[in-house]
Structure 1
Amino acid sequence: MPKRGGGRIKNWKTDNDHFEHDDRTHNPRRVSFKPGTNKGKNKFNNWNKNAKLLLDDDVDMGLSGGQGPRKPFRGRGGRLGSPAPRPRHAGKKFTPGMLPWYQIVIPYGAKHEKDVILRALLNFTSPDIFIPHYYRINGNAAIFYVDDVKSAENLFNADKKIVMPDGFKMVVIVKNAVPNVNVDANMKEKMKLVMAKRYNPATKALDMTKFHSDSDLSEIFCGLFRPVIMLTAIDIIAENIPDIEALNLNDNKLHGLDHLKVMATKLKNLKILYLGDNRIPVVGSLESLRNLPLVELMLKGNPLRNRFNDHDDYVSTVRKKFPKLVRLDGVDLPPAIGFDVAEDVALPAQQQSFLIEPAAQDFVRQFLAQYFAVYDSESRQSLMDAYHENATMSMTTSYLTHDIRNSPSTKLHQYLPNSRNILRITDRESRRRYLRTGKLQVVAFICDLPKTTHDLMGFAVDVLIYTPTMIMVSMNGVFKETASQGSRSFHRTFMIVPNNGGGFCIVNDMLFITNTTKEQEEKMFQSGVPAAAPTPVAATTSAPAPAPAPAPAASEALHSEHHRMLLNALGQQTGMNDYWSMNCLQETGWDLQKAMFIFNKLQSEGKIPHEAFVK
C-alpha cells in the first residue's frame, strides 16, 4: 500500500521545462475564495480593466481548462510535492478568455509526428475545422495556437477523448494566451516582403486582411491586434508606400484603436479604410481616426453595429466623425447636407450690431429712443399710437439655470403667469389666450408689466429687413425693475409697417425675458456710447429709406360729432378717460356695443390698467 504523501509530481512550464513523466491521470486542484481570506483591498479590481495591457507584454494567462498554474501540494503528514487530493467534481467547463488567441499544449506530443496529432484532432472536431498556427515542439510537448474561441472549445472537449496509436489517451490543455513575439529586424523584413506581395500600385491599395495567417508568416506571430506589431506595420507603410490611399485591415481581431491616431500624420493620403470583421466595441473607438480624410469606411462585422437599433442613426453617428464619407459598409451614402466651404475661409469680424442698410441707422435710433422713453415712463398709455390696429404681441420667460429660482432678486414670478412658451403650452386654445391681439390688448398688457429702466447704451441691434413696406428690428439688452431693482435680460423683435398717417407702427412684438448673467450685471449702465445707434456697416445695395413720421394726433380721429358722442357715451359707462375710450372705439370700428363687450371682458380679467381711469 503506498505511503500517504508519496509520489512527487514534477511541475512543467510551457517554454522551458520538459515532460519527464507520463502524467495522464492527475486532476487539477480546485480553487476557492473563502470570505475573509483576501485582506488586500480591491486586489482583483484591475484584472479586466483593459485587455490591451496584456497584449503589449508577453504575458501567459495560465488558463488551462479554467485552471491556474499548479502549485506543489503538501499532503497531510506528507512532504512538499505530494499529489493534490482528487476533486469531488471531475467535470470541466470551457470558459472563453478575454484574449483572441488560445494556446494548445499536447503533453508528450513530441513522441508523434505533427501530421498524426493534427489529423487526430481534426477527426475529433469534424465537421468543424481549425487552423493551427506556429506549431512547434518544446521539450516533450507539442504546442500550437488557434485564433477563434469555437476552435478552442472544440479542442478543449477533445481532452482525453482521443486514443493514440500507442494506446494512450491524448491530453489536450487549452490556455488563453497570445504567442510571444520579439519585433526584430528579421521580423520587420518578413513583414515588408508580405506587404509588398499584397500591395497593388495601380490602385495604391494594401490588402492586410487576416495578416497573421499569411503562409509566409507561418513561423512568426504577426497579429496586428497587438499595438507593437500594428505600429511597426504603419512605420513600414509610411517608409515604403507613403502615398497609400486604401488599406484593408479586415479580420485582424482589432479591438482598441487608440494607437492608430498616428495614421493621420504618417498616412496623410489614406482615403479608404476597411475595418470589417474585427472586435471594435463602440463607435467612440473610431475617435482616433477622425483626422483621416476618409471617403470610404468598412465596419461591418464589428460589435459596434449591434449597439444601434436604427440604421439611419448608425450612419449619422459615423458621419459625424467622418464628414467627407460617401461610402459606408459597401453602400453609397446620400449626399450630406452642409456647406462645401474651404477650410481657410475666415469668418467676418464680430460686431455688436448689424444693419442690412446703413440708411436704417437714423430710423432705428429715433424709433428706439422714442419707444423706450415712453416704455420707461410712469405711464405707458402713449404707446397706443406706436401699435397697429391689429397688432399682436407675445411674451416668453424662463430661468437661465435652476439654481437661481429661489433667489428673491432673480425670481420671474411677475412674468411667468403670462409666458407663452409653446414648448410647454401645447393646447391650441391656451396658446391663443396667451397671444395679445389688437393694440388695446397689447398696451393693456404692457402697462401691467413691472416699471423698468432700460440700459439704452447697451443695446445690440440688428436690422434684418429694411424696405418701404416692412422693417424688422431684432435687439437684446438689459433693464432694471424700478420697484425691486432686479436685473433682467431681454430679447425683442419688432415688425414695423407704415401706417395710414405717413408714419410707422408695430404690427408684431415678440418679447423674451430672463435673468442676467454675472457679466451683464457688471457692465450694466457702464457704457458711454449708445448701442441703439450702431456703427454703420458697408452697404451692398441701396434701398429706399422710409422716413419716420409722427402718428396722427388724437384730435384728428374725432372728425365727426357722431364720434364725439360715442366717445362720451363709452366714457360715462366705463369710467375710462378720453384717451383709452377713443382707442377702444377705434379698435372696434367705432361700434359702441363691441367696445362695451371688450371693456367688460378685459375688466373681468383685470387687464385694464389703473391709468385708464385717471382723468
Structure 2
Amino acid sequence: MSISRPDEVYHFPNNLPIELSYKNTQTYSKCSSYDPKAFAQGFVWHQIIVQHHGKICGRDGVQEILDAIFAVVEGEEFFPIAYRRGSKEDRFLVRQCKAAINKLFEQNLLIQLADASFVQLQMQFNVGEFKFGQISPHTKLTEALNRLYTCMERINGVEGILNLCRFNSNPEFVDLVVNMGNRGVFDTICNLIYRNDEKFRLVNGLILSDNCITTLAPLTVFAGVEFAFLDLRRNKLVSSSRLCRDLSNVKADEILLAGNPVTTASNYPDCLRPILKNFKQIDGIPAENLSKDYTPLDYEDDGNCEGFRVDITNKETMHKFQNSSDWHSIMIPDPEHEFSKDEIFDYFFITVSATLSDIYPCYYKFAGGEHQFLLRQCFDQLKFLVDVCKMEMKVPRLSTHFDNHSALSEIQIDKTLRYYLVMNIRPFKHGQLEPIDCIDKALTRRFNGINRQLNLDKFQNIEGLENIVINLSSPKILSRVLMQASRKFLTSCVELRLAHNKITNANMSKVLSLMSNLKAIDLGNNWILDLEDIKDLSLLGLKTLRLDGNPLCSKYTFAGEYIKAVRRHFPELTKLDNIEIKNKGSLNYQKNFLCDVRGYEFVDEFVPHYFKVFDSQERQSLKELYHPNAIFTTSFNYRIAQMTTQNFKRISKYCENSRNILKISDLSRAHTSVHLGTNQIMQVLFELPSMLHDTLTFNTDTTIYNENMIMITVSGVFYDLAPSMMDNDILMGFTRTFVIIPVEKRMGILNRAVKYQIVNEQLSIFNPTLHQTRTAFKCSKKEYQDNDSEVTVSDQEALIVMFQEITNLKSVWCTRFLEDAKWDFKKSLLLFLTFCDKKLIPETAFI
C-alpha cells in the first residue's frame, strides 16, 4: 500500500508538525467571493499567500503587512500561524476564522499599505488537516496567561497585578501572531482571563501597555470588577467618546492613559468627565484635580492651610519663607470688581521684575471682593513685590464716573492697587500644576506633524492652561517657552505661529536656532513697536514673516515703504503678511488667497459658521442664509472600489440630486436637478447624509469681493458619517462655490449693518486626492460641541472691535458698555444710545 507524502511540513518546537498537501486545494485570487462548498471549517488549515513581489523587506515589512491585514479583519478573531518570509511572497496558516476571511474577500483579496499601495493576497483552502497536538491559538494564549499568573507584580503596595505589557512578545507566541489591536483578539484574551475563576480572583489589576490597542470595548467583560490598577499607556486610543463608553462600567483606583493620542486632544482631560467617578487617580493625578476649575483653595482641607499673612505692617517676616516649597497667595482687594482678570495680570506683570526668577500665577479666582492667585518657587520675586514695590501696583487707567444728576467726567490718573500676601497657604501636592509640564503639554497639543507647524497663537487659550498664566509679553518667559519648543521639536518644525500673544520683543534668534529648518514665523497682532524688536530673527534666514496687526505697521504710510524697511532686515524674505513679494519689492498677486484683504473678516466669519451649522443637527437654520431666488446645483463623481449594497444606498443619496450632464441618460433631468428657491435648496440639504468637514485643511479662494458681490470657493474633505457602528465613515473630497450679495443695507440701530444672502451655490463631490487622504483629520477629528452660550476671550475681542467701529469710542469705553450689558451686543448699543441721549459721554471718550 502506498503512503501519500505531504508537499510541505511545518515543524514546531513544542507541538506536532503540520503537514500540507496542495492536491485538493481550492485557490482564489483577485475575487470577491468563493464557493462555500470548497471551504471546510474546523479541523482544516488554510494558507494565505502575500504576493509582495520583493517590494517589502525586513521585519518592518512583515509588520506593515500584518497591520494592513488586521485593518481589514478588524473585529474578527484572527491568528496568523507559522509566518514564513519569501523573496517574492510571504505565507502563513490560519484556522477557524471564516468571518475574517469573508472580510478579506470583500476587499477583493487586496490589502492597502501605509504608502497607499496595494498588495494582492492568494487564498488556499484546505491545505492541511488539523490534528490534536498541533499548535492552537487558544491553547497558546492559555499557556502564556498561566505563566504570567505565577509572576504577578506588586505596584504601590498592591499585589496581583497581571502584566500583559507587549503581550505579543511572550515566548509562547514564537510561531503565532497575537495582535491585541484587533478587537476580536483582545476580546478572546479578556474572556480567557475573566472565565478562569481560580486565577482571576487573585488579579487586582492589569498592565495592558504597549499593545497597539485601539478600542477598550473588550474590557466591558470586567463590568462590576473593581481593580486597584489599570495600565493602558502607549496604546492607540484616539476617540474620547468611545473611551468613555467602553470604560463606563470599569472601575479602578488608578488608571494610566499617558501616551495615547486621546491625551493630546484639545478637549483632554475634560473629555473624561463622564467616567471620572470610576477612578480615584488618572496618570497619578487625583481625578478631581483634572477639572478646569480646580483650585487647591476649594478642594483641599489641611490642618495647616490658613497660611501666614504678610502686609506692610510685618513685611520683615518674609525671610522666614525663603526655602518654602508651599503655595503662596497674592490677594488684591477689589470690592467693586472694577478690574477684570486680564487687567489684573497685565498690571501684575508690569510690576514684577524682568530680571528675577520666572513667575507663573496659578489657580486664579475672584471671591469675597478679592482677586486671588497662587505662586510658588519664586521667593525673590515675592520679596521684590514686598520690599521694592511696597505691595502696590501703580497702573495707568481712565477713571470714569456716571452720575444721574451731573455730567460724566473722565480723568487720566495713576490708580494704585494695594495687595497683601498669604504665605504657605497650602502644601504643594503631586498632581498640581507644574509650569514646565504645562508648557510641554501645550506645545504637544499645538504641534502639527503633518504640516510641521507649531501653532502658539493665543497661547494662553490652549487647553490645559486654564489654571496657569503664562505671560509671553515677558521676553524672559517667551524665551523659556521657545527654548522648550526648540529642544522638543528641533528640525521637525518649519513654521512657528505666535499671533495674539501681546509680545513686545521677539529677538530670540539664539533660542530658535535649534529649529534649523524654521522658515516661517507669524507675529501678527502683537504689541511690537519697532522692527528693532525683531531684527535678530533675520539670522534665521526666514522666507515668510507676518507682522500685520502690530503698532510698528502704523509707522509706515505706504506699502512700498513698509516692505523696504522689513526687507532691509530680512533680505531673504519672499512672503510678507501672507502676500508674496517680487524681487523688486512690490507685492505679488497670490493664487488661493483674497483678491481684497477687506474680505478676510467676512470669509473668516462665514466659512466656519456655515460648515459648523451644516455638520450639526440644525441644518434648517441655514435657510435664512439663502436668497428666496437662490440657485443650487450639485455634481457627484465619487467612485468606491467595493460597491456593497450598503455603500450603494449611501451613494444614492448624493446621486439623486446630481447634475452630471455628460452622464445623464435622460436629458430632461438636467432641468429638474437645478434647485430654485430656499424650499427646494433646504430639501436637498436635508436629504444629504450626516457629514463632518475637516475645516482645518480647507483651501479658501475669494475671487470676487466688492460692495455688490462676493464669490468664495472652498475646497477640502469631509466624512460621510457611518449610519451605524457596523459601517465605516467614507472620506470624500469636495468643492463648494458660493456667490453672495448684499440684500439689505443700513440696517441695525446705527444703520451700519449689512445683510448678505447666498444667490448661487455649486457643490461638487469627488474622490479625495492622495494628499488630501494623507492629511485629512490628522490634526484631530474633533467631536464638535456647541458653546454658543459662552462668550470666549476671542469673542470678547471681536465684540470690542465691532463696537468701536460703530461708535468710534475708545476701547476702555467699549469694554465698559459691553461688560455692563454682559456682552450682549444689542443691549450694549442700546445702553450707548441712552448715554448719548442724556449727553453723558464727553468728547474725550471718542477716538
Q: What is the TM-score with the length of structure 2 in the denominator?
A: 0.24
Q: Which protein has the larger Cα radius of gyration, Structure 1 or Structure 2?
A: 1
Which is strand-richer, 1 or 2? 2
Q: Which has the higher contact order (CA 8 A, sep 6+)?
A: 1
Q: What is the TM-score with the length of structure 1 in the denominator?
A: 0.31
